[in-house]
């Protein structure tokens, strides 16, 4: 029923879009969102990027977006609709839009597509993602330094490589400070359900976690942490307003620079299919202010952030051991990009099975 509903909502929105008149001389840039721009998390940051395009290139570009588009067949329909309406560039901003994006792209060779966090490309389909895990490593270090119980709780959405990578990076960061640090993982199997995210946070806290971090799209978990007096980290956007005492820092996605650059490339006719995996060095991942922590922890977090930004340090530097004890990267090596992108294994110390 819920699927049916969101599908109906998607169709209704898509048809509302078709009624808007489009000036023929402007490049139309479309966005497909998994949640509402008001989630104050993942979609919110993508919408900030869209608004940045409007602000910078508004005289040559018109942006449109469709929100709450479920992953699956409805996505294909909605993307097709956008392409039919003359969008020249379409950003599909969730992992599950991967196959729909490629299918539609094959039918519209003149339209450029940009798929976030995926790994399948075509001549007119680029992929882009952020090295969120760099931020995860930093907050892992902070967690291990500030936690009293030595246990952190991690709320995951779906067990896909992007999320697993974040979990591993977090734990590697924590283990660099405290080798015995424990991590409990709870999957809510949803990107956006504030109530369930809050439930998961409560469950983790009652199981002994005194640091909560989440890879879901709302601010609910952070708020529970504030209420129950444990620490938390913001995800995707700065969530300090929801947990002024509990929040230590946030990992902030910055899509604006990338979106403006890609739109400019289409305007200039220089757009080619690429694979972008930018991190702190490309200004695609930012850290929020480090607050509510002692000065030495803050100094350590800042030093790690600076080292990652300068390219001097890689969070997946060896030795990295998989959960089963096998070696993923030896001393002096770094886990290779292919394993990072398709990561389907935990590092040692995660209290969960994939």
Q: Kindly list the residues in this chain that would bind another protein in the complex (CB under 8 A).
A: 1-2, 5, 8-9, 12, 35-40, 68, 153, 159, 184-190, 192-200, 202-204, 206-207, 218-220, 223-224, 227, 241-242, 351-353
Looking at the Cβ atoms of 76 and 193, the one nearer to another protein is: 193
For residue 109, give the DSSP letter: T
Looking at the Cβ atoms of 119 and 158, the one nearer to another protein is: 158
Looking at the Cβ atoms of 93 and 223, the one nearer to another protein is: 223
**Type and span of the H or E element at 340:** helix 337-341
User: Closest distance between another protein and the C-beta of residue 201, in Å?
Assistant: 10
Looking at the Cβ atoms of 203 and 260, the one nearer to another protein is: 203
User: Closest distance between another protein and the C-beta of residue 244, in Å?
Assistant: 8
Looking at the Cβ atoms of 232 and 335, the one nearer to another protein is: 232
CB 181 within 8 A of CB 158: no
Looking at the Cβ atoms of 184 and 322, the one nearer to another protein is: 184
Cα distance between residue 216 and residue 262, in whole Å:
27
User: Closest distance between another protein and the C-beta of residue 116, in Å?
Assistant: 20
User: Closest distance between another protein and the C-beta of residue 16, in Å?
Assistant: 10
- Give ∠ CA 170-185-253 in degrees, rounded to 5: 45
Sign, CA torsion 151/157/159/161: negative
Q: Which residues contact 178 (CB under 8 A, 6 or more apart)?
A: 144, 145, 150
User: Closest distance between another protein and the C-beta of residue 259, in Å?
Assistant: 21
User: Closest distance between another protein and the C-beta of residue 112, in Å?
Assistant: 29
- Give ∠ CA 234-136-142 in degrees, rounded to 5: 80
CA distances from 279 to 128, 134, 252, 290 (A): 11, 7, 11, 19
User: Closest distance between another protein and the C-beta of residue 60, in Å?
Assistant: 27
User: Closest distance between another protein and the C-beta of residue 45, in Å?
Assistant: 12
What is the total residue count of the chain? 354
Looking at the Cβ atoms of 206 and 283, the one nearer to another protein is: 206
CB 295 within 8 A of CB 118: no
Query: Tokens 């080619």 belong to which residue?
Result: 272
Three-state SS annotation for 215-245: ECCCCHHHHHHHHHCCEEEEEECCCHHHCCC
Looking at the Cβ atoms of 9 and 177, the one nearer to another protein is: 9
User: Closest distance between another protein and the C-beta of residue 9, in Å?
Assistant: 6
Q: Evaluate the omega torsion of the peptide bond into residue 319 and state whether it is cis, within 30 degrees of 0.
A: yes
Looking at the Cβ atoms of 317 and 348, the one nearer to another protein is: 348
Q: Which residues contact 222 (CB under 8 A, 6 or more apart)?
A: 212, 214, 232, 233, 234, 239, 242, 243, 246, 247
């Amino acid at each position: 029923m819920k699927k049916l509903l969101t599908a109906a909502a998607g169709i209704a929105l898509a048809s509302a879009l078709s009624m808007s008149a489009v000036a023929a001389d402007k490049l139309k840039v479309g966005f497909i969102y998994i949640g509402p721009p008001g989630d104050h998390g993942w979609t919110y940051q993508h919408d900030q990027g869209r608004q940045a395009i409007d602000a910078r290139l508004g005289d040559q570009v018109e942006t449109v977006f469709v929100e709450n588009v479920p992953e699956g067949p409805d996505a294909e329909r909605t993307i097709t609709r956008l392409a039919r309406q003359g969008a020249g560039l379409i950003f599909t901003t969730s992992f599950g839009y991967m196959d729909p994006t490629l299918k539609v792209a094959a039918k519209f060779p003149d339209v450029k597509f940009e798929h976030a966090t995926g790994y399948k490309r075509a001549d007119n389909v680029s992929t882009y993602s952020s090295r969120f895990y760099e931020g995860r490593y930093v907050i892992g270090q902070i967690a291990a330094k500030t936690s009293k119980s030595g246990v952190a709780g991690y709320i995951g959405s779906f067990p896909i490589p992007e999320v697993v990578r974040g979990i591993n990076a977090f734990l590697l960061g924590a283990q660099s400070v405290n080798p015995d640090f424990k991590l409990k993982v709870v999957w809510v199997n949803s990107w956006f359900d504030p109530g369930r995210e809050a439930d998961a946070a409560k469950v983790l806290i009652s199981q002994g976690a005194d640091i909560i971090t989440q890879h879901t799209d709302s601010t609910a978990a952070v708020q529970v942490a504030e209420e129950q007096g444990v620490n938390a980290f913001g995800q995707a956007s700065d969530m300090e307003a929801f947990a002024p005492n509990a929040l230590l820092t946030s990992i902030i996605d910055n899509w604006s620079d990338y979106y403006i650059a890609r739109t400019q490339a289409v305007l200039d006719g220089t757009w080619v299919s690429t694979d972008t995996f930018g991190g702190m060095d490309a200004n695609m991942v930012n850290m929020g202010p480090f607050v509510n922590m002692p000065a030495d922890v803050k100094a350590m977090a800042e030093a790690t952030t600076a080292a990652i930004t300068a390219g001097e340090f890689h969070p997946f530097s060896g030795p990295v051991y998989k959960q089963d004890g096998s070696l993923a990267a030896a001393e002096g090596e770094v886990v290779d990009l292919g394993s990072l992108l398709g990561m389907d294994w935990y590092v040692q110390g995660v209290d969960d099975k994939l």
